[in-house]
Amino acid sequence: MARIAPITVDAAPAATADTLRAVEKKIGMIPNLFSTFALAPAALNGYLAFSDALTEGALSAAQREIVALAVGQANACQYCLSAHTAIGKGAGLSDDAIKNARAGNAESPLDNAIAELAVKIVKQRGVLSDADMAAASDAGVDNALVIEIVANVALNTLTNYTNHIADTDIDFPEVAV
């Protein structure tokens, strides 16, 4: 049972209820994480806006899922690992690619550099060495992509930490941490 109970659509203020209904219309469900964010409408709206903005970036949907899985594993977030395993499959990741992303690597050199960098950002709290940056650059990660990866790490860390604190009930097929 969740430590912080998510709000129901019926109990939410009108604007928040409308946002939750829009999420349900778009993805076919209202994830418990979103209903938890809805307790603080600014958090829900900020998360959705940031997430939508990142879909317009250079990272593909599959690459964003690689980051989400790598970060979810580094932060040991079972909710996000469960959600992004399902979402990753929808973005075209194979079971092996999902397993690799969780381990912080990938098959292609660019995707591997993205996964490795995401894990380093989490584990090193954003303190990257010149060697870390050079390795990413050698694999094709330019400075603009580094910043976009940082943004995706931040977005996923927000959800990881929220799920840890709220002890969000998992409403996706569960995977082990």
Query: For the domain that residue 46 is a member of, what is the CATH number?
Result: 1.20.5
**Same domain for 42 and 96:** no
Looking at residues 132-145, what average pLDDT do you find?
Answer: 98
For residue 122, with 0-12 CB atoms within 10 Å meaning exposed, 13-18 middle and 19 or more buried, which class applies? buried
**Same domain for 26 and 82:** no
Query: For the domain that residue 84 is a member of, what is the CATH number?
Result: 1.20.1290.10
**Same domain for 71 and 39:** no
Looking at residues 82-86, what average pLDDT do you find?
Answer: 98
Q: Residue 123: its pLDDT value, please? A: 98
Residue range(s) defining the domain that contains residue 33:
14-54
**Same domain for 153 and 118:** yes
| Dihedral over alpha carbons 136, 137, 143, 149 (to 10 degrees) | -20
Looking at residues 20-32, what average pLDDT do you find?
Answer: 96
Q: Residue 139: its pLDDT value, please? A: 97
**Same domain for 113 and 136:** yes
Q: Residue 48: its pLDDT value, please? A: 97
User: Which helix H or strand E contains 165, and what residues bound it?
Assistant: helix 143-166
Q: Residue 96: its pLDDT value, please? A: 98
